């Protein structure tokens, strides 16, 4: 018997070949219809979502998770508005990247094309269901969604709305598939569905992402954790330093581009260290420091080796003194997660050394790490922030959901 | 105890951080020194190579494999000349891909950067040792080479020459590492060396590539097999058709961009089929045909389902009649390997349908599939031909060995 995953994989692949040649206009029309349908269906969506919440409460789910799952009128409207913004973005499909005119008359064009079928494995966030489906459709891709059992009623209802909307459009209904069986086995089946899947995108915590990266033979678009550092060089301007450190740590501590560790040049520390630590402390941040830091201020807690490798995602920061920019670079390349790294300095040469030598998706001179974000970078959409080096690195906009294809136009050319 | 793979992985990673910031001039100087050293060392290289050949002969290795392993004066000189050509190519590292000027004064630059450490797993071709090392150095990458036991003496000698050359340059000797233990376990260790390896590139036959793709948790740059088709539409020009079919099949049948299967519109076949089959047959090609083909010419052999999925890499072609372009597209998307696919037609609309709907790295209108090649495309170098959709697709030049990095220049900006 064919499994649900196999069956829906096959349907998605077939749909991808139709979707592949749809115009931007046809795709945008479908997106608009989905946004409208979600508003039309919102009472039903909220009612189905309530079933997930009831089960979650019964199972003693933490309130933060329940809040992530919850849909209400405002949230459904926000999801629909996000689709309207997506409609306005440029369609990357068909974009000419390169043109080669050969002496023999061959014209070779390299253009962006859809990836084909995207497999999305994610945790208990019903909004990802819509986000993944609409980003995929915008870029001409079919999608297979595998959400969490704890949002099952919500996901089924949301995908039913998408299907109702697509029925009225040029886009095949089969382009969006939801795996309803939330048994762990269906995830494993997706890991190896090379026949139908072109890429797998895990969205969720580190454990989920690591599992997919380590197990899947289908290529993975990896979005990673952020153990981000700020290095304060000996020529750093104090005002900039305080502003950037507090922003990078406290503006939204739970996200991957928040700073987790502060490296300070020992000369600078002698002059400004206590003032900076006091300012960070007063902003509500727990200081986990090395021996010198703990000597300098009594509210600091002693750092262990583990602290330097930890992404706190909390109002907590490790602080360590270093001899120079080289020690800072070495520390970051050892403990960092290749996400976002900043230097504060007035010395351009030192800045350049840092920016070139630190191995990360985004490197900052005199600015907060919090800017690593698809919307901040002006991409208008964000698939996630890639910390891998192949295909896409850093904030991924719509082009990350495309591949390329060489179109070769001839009139009888053969190779001599 | 640290294994050879772990130890050399660590050295390569450390070297990659130094190599990373070397100038194009420094890298080119090192490449030139390597070319010179190979010429200086050629007697020794040929002598060491002779040991591999002797062992191979003793073990009854086929003469085609022995020929692939063999180094002589001409071949060493050819390898050195290829390095001189590589020196002349543009260095992709540092290339500006995107610049974003934010209203708050932030300047965001997206630039090409080296990948870091490349792991190369390959079969019995000593020339790949030099090719992989020099392409990696040119793009600022360190490399870990894992060649075949049957070329062990050659590989050790070649890498020793590289090291002797690098000693006189600004490029760290540790940037090129050879795993000398050719036990299968060392390959498996490389599959999961995520701590030190940024990408794995298998070069060799389908079995090797499949093994790496299926087993490795390190990201893989996949170069694949080519089951390439030519579809002859009902408006195809006869002269172009014959020329292209014979070229794509016979010019070099053993390579991945050679045609393996011919799909012919039944109307066109009624008029020109026998003439075309005769021409291909006279070019020395065995015709494996469907029922109609076998009825039309007595030298055709009956095709099975398996034939349509087979990459013959030989003077053999499967021939099948189809109703129209849609049946051709469906057949290709079912049996093809997403490499190179051609249509011959005088109807531009039909051509566009084919080019857009066929899922392949390179699609051709009225030209031979044999052009899918980094040198033919003008890239001046070729890492391989990618049939995967992430990172790079089709012929890969030097940019395929780079990643990107966002350089963000500020003067105190924080996120509001």
Q: Residue B204: its pLDDT value, please?
A: 83
- What DSSP string runs through A25-50? HHHHHHHHHHHHHHHHTHHHHHHHHH
Q: Is the separation of the CB atoms in B192 and B171 below 8 Å?
A: no
- What DSSP string runs through A73-96? HHHHHHHHHHHHHHHHSPP-TT-E
Are B238 and B187 in a shared domain? no
Distance (Å, rounded) from C-alpha A372 to C-alpha A258? 9
- What DSSP string runs through B240-256? HHHHHHHHHHHSSTTST
- A224: confidence class by pLDDT, cuts 50, 70, 90: confident
Residue A34 makes CB contacts below 8 A (sequence gap 6+) with A83, A130, A133, A134, A137, A161, A162, A165, A166
Are B267 and B125 in a shared domain? no
In a domain, A391, yes or no: no
pLDDT at A36 over 80: yes
- Per the structure, the complete domain to which residue A297 belongs is given by 228-371
Quote the Cα angle for A339-A340-A345, to 5°: 150
In a domain, B194, yes or no: yes
Are B171 and B291 in a shared domain? no
Q: Is the separation of the CB atoms in A405 and B360 below 8 Å?
A: yes
Are A216 and A248 in a shared domain? no
- Chain A positions in Cβ-Cβ contact with residue B376 (cut-off 8 Å): 102, 415
Are A278 and A298 in a shared domain? yes
Q: Tokens 């104090």 appear where?
A: A238
Query: Are B390 and A414 in contact (CB < 8 Å)?
Result: no
Distance (Å, rounded) from C-alpha A195 to C-alpha A229? 41
Quote the Cα angle for A253-A255-A257, to 5°: 95
Average pLDDT over every residue of A24-30: 98
Task: List, for residues A282-303, the tens digit of each pLDDT value.
Answer: 999 999 999 999 999 999 999 9
Average pLDDT over every residue of A322-329: 98
Q: 3-class SS at B409?
A: strand
Distance (Å, rounded) from C-alpha A368 to C-alpha B410? 9
Q: Kindly provide the b/e burial profile for residues B371-400, where b requires at least 16 CB atoms within 10 angstroms of the residue's own CB.
A: bbbbebbebebbbbbbbbbbbbbbbbbbbb
Task: List, for residues B6-55, the tens digit of each pLDDT value.
Answer: 999 999 999 999 998 899 999 999 999 999 999 999 999 999 999 999 99
Q: Residue A225: its pLDDT value, please?
A: 85
**Gyration radius of chain A's alpha carbons:** 24
Distance (Å, rounded) from C-alpha B244 to C-alpha B61? 36
CA nearest neighbour of A397 among B177, B108, B153, B201: B108
Candidates B241, B280, B403, B411, partner chain A, best to mutate (most A CBs within 10 A): B403
Task: List, for residues B226-237, the tens digit of each pLDDT value.
Answer: 999 999 999 999
The tokens for B29 are: 């100087």
Are B294 and B308 in a shared domain? yes
Give the residue from chain A lying closest to B195, CA to CA.
Answer: A334
B59: exposed, middle or buried (C-beta count within 10 Å: 0-12, 13-18, 19+)? Answer: exposed
- What DSSP string runs through A359-389? -SSEEEEEE-GGG-STTTTT-S--SEEE-SS
Distances (CA, A) of A310 to A229, A259, A303, A384: 11, 11, 11, 21
Q: 3-class SS at A189?
A: helix
Q: What angle, rounded to 10 degrees, do the helices at B152-166 and B24-40 form?
A: 130
Length of chain B: 416
Q: Tokens 């870091």 appear where?
A: B116
The rounded mean pLDDT for chain A is 96
Q: Is the separation of the CB atoms in A57 and A206 below 8 Å?
A: no
B408 vs A: CB within 8 A: yes
Q: Is the separation of the CB atoms in A258 and A313 below 8 Å?
A: yes
CA nearest neighbour of A113 among A412, A402, A411: A402
Are B286 and B342 in a shared domain? yes
CA nearest neighbour of A193 among A263, A226, A146: A146
A97 vs B: CB within 8 A: no
Q: A256: part of which helix (H) or strand (E)? A: none
Distance (Å, rounded) from C-alpha A268 to C-alpha B319? 76
Nearest-CB residue to A391 (from B248, B356, B390)? B390
- Chain A positions in Cβ-Cβ contact with residue B17 (cut-off 8 Å): 329, 333, 357, 359
Q: B85: part of which helix (H) or strand (E)? A: helix B73-88
Are A354 and A250 in a shared domain? yes
Are A217 and A276 in a shared domain? no
- What DSSP string runs through A125-167? -HHHHHHHHHHHHHTT-EEEEE--GGGHHHHHHHHHHHHHHHT
Q: Kindly provide the b/e burial profile for residues A6-18, where b requires at least 16 CB atoms within 10 angstroms of the residue's own CB.
A: eebbbbbbbbbbb
Average pLDDT over every residue of B129-147: 97
Q: What is the DSSP letter of A223?
A: B
Q: Residue A250: its pLDDT value, please?
A: 97
- B207: confidence class by pLDDT, cuts 50, 70, 90: confident
Q: A208: part of which helix (H) or strand (E)? A: helix A206-215
Are B239 and B201 in a shared domain? no
Distance (Å, rounded) from C-alpha A348 to C-alpha B206? 50
A324 vs B: CB within 8 A: no
**Beta-bridge partners for A385:** A395
Q: Residue A223: its pLDDT value, please?
A: 85
Q: What is the DSSP letter of B300?
A: P
Q: 3-class SS at A200?
A: strand
Distance (Å, rounded) from C-alpha A302 to C-alpha A412? 74
Q: Residue B85: its pLDDT value, please?
A: 95
- Chain A positions in Cβ-Cβ contact with residue B371 (cut-off 8 Å): 106, 408, 413, 415
In a domain, B402, yes or no: yes
Q: Residue A1: its pLDDT value, please?
A: 76
CA nearest neighbour of B35 among B87, B113, B74: B87
CA nearest neighbour of B177 among B21, B402, B351, B12: B12
In a domain, A387, yes or no: no
Q: How far A340 CA sits from the closest chain B CA (Å)? A: 9
Q: Residue B261: its pLDDT value, please?
A: 98
Q: Residue B131: its pLDDT value, please?
A: 94
Task: List, for residues B84-124, the tens digit of each pLDDT value.
Answer: 999 999 999 999 999 999 999 999 999 999 999 999 999 88
Taking the alpha carbons at both ends of chain B, their separation in whole angstroms is 51
Q: Tokens 């795993």 appear where?
A: B179
CATH number at residue A249: 3.40.309.10
Task: List, for residues A149-204, the tens digit of each pLDDT value.
Answer: 999 999 999 999 999 999 999 999 999 999 999 998 999 999 999 999 999 999 88
Q: Residue A287: its pLDDT value, please?
A: 98
Number of domains in chain B: 2
Q: Which of residues 368-397 of A touch B (CB under 8 A)?
A: 368, 370-372, 376-378, 388-391, 393-395
In a domain, A389, yes or no: no
Are B203 and B326 in a shared domain? no
Are A160 and A280 in a shared domain? no
Task: List, for residues A347-403, the tens digit of each pLDDT value.
Answer: 999 999 999 999 999 999 999 999 999 999 999 988 889 999 999 999 999 999 999
Quote the Cα angle for A263-A265-A270, to 5°: 115
Choose the weakest-confidence range: A63-67, A300-304, A322-326, B291-295: A63-67
Nearest-CB residue to B371 (from A106, A355, A403)? A106
In a domain, A321, yes or no: yes
CATH number at residue A72: 3.40.605.10
The rounded mean pLDDT for chain B is 96
CA nearest neighbour of B22 among B166, B213, B205: B166
Q: Where are the alpha helices (DSSP H) in B41-72?
A: 42-58, 63-69
Q: Residue B222: its pLDDT value, please?
A: 87
Q: Residue B266: its pLDDT value, please?
A: 97
In a domain, A250, yes or no: yes
B348 vs A: CB within 8 A: no
In a domain, A385, yes or no: no
Distance (Å, rounded) from C-alpha B396 to C-alpha B384? 6
Query: Are B217 and A221 in contact (CB < 8 Å)?
Result: no
- Chain B positions in Cβ-Cβ contact with residue A355 (cut-off 8 Å): 407
Taking the alpha carbons at both ends of chain A, their separation in whole angstroms is 51
The tokens for B56 are: 């191979």
pLDDT at B1 over 80: no
ipTM: 0.94
Distance (Å, rounded) from C-alpha B391 to C-alpha A219? 10
Q: Which of residues 164-203 of B touch A (CB under 8 A)?
A: 198-199
Q: Where are the alpha helices (DSSP H) in B104-231?
A: 126-138, 152-166, 184-191, 206-215
Distances (CA, A) of B63 to B4, B46, B56: 32, 18, 9
Distance (Å, rounded) from C-alpha B156 to C-alpha B45? 9
Q: Is the separation of the CB atoms in A403 and B389 below 8 Å?
A: yes
The rounded percent of chain A whose pLDDT value lies above 90 is 91
């Amino acid at each position: 018997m064919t499994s649900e995953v196999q069956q829906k994989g096959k349907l998605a692949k077939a749909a991808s070949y139709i979707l592949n040649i749809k115009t931007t206009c046809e795709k945008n029309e479908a997106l608009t219809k989905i946004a409208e349908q979600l508003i039309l269906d919102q009472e039903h969506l909220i009612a189905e979502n309530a079933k997930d919440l009831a089960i979650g409460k019964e199972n003693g789910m933490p309130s933060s998770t329940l809040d992530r799952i919850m849909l209400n009128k405002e949230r459904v409207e926000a999801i629909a508005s996000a689709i309207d913004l997506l409609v306005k973005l440029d369609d990357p499909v068909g974009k000419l990247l390169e043109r080669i005119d050969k002496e023999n008359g061959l014209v070779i064009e390299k253009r962006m094309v859809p990836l084909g079928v995207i497999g999305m494995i994610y945790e208990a966030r019903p909004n990802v269901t819509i986000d993944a489906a609409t980003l995929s459709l915008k870029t001409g891709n079919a999608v297979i969604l595998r959400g969490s059992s704890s949002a099952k009623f919500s996901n089924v209802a949301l995908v039913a709305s998408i299907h109702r909307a697509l029925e009225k459009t040029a886009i095949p209904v089969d382009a969006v598939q939801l795996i309803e069986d939330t048994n762990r086995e269906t995830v494993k089946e997706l890991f190896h569905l090379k026949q139908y899947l072109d890429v797998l995108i895990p969205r969720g915590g580190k454990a989920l992402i690591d599992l997919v990266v380590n197990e899947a033979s289908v290529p993975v678009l990896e979005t990673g954790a952020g153990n981000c550092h700020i290095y304060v060089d000996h020529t750093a301007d104090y005002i900039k330093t305080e502003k950037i450190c507090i922003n990078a740590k406290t503006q939204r501590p739970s996200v991957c581009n928040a700073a987790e560790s502060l490296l300070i040049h020992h000369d600078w520390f002698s002059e400004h260290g206590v003032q900076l630590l006091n300012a960070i402390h007063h902003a509500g941040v727990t200081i986990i420091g090395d021996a010198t830091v703990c000597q300098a201020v009594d509210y600091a807690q002693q750092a262990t080796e583990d602290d330097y490798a930890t992404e706190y995602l909390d109002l907590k920061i490790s602080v360590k003194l270093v001899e120079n920019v080289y020690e800072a670079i070495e520390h970051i390349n050892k403990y960092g997660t290749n996400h976002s790294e900043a230097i504060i300095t007035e010395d351009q040469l030192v800045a350049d050394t840092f920016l070139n030598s630190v191995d990360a998706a985004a490197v900052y001179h005199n600015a907060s790490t919090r800017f690593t974000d698809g919307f901040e970078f002006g991409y208008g959409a964000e698939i996630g922030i890639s910390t891998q080096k192949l295909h896409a690195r850093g904030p991924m906009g719509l082009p990350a959901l495309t591949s390329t294809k060489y179109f070769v136009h001839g009139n009888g050319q053969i190779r001599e």
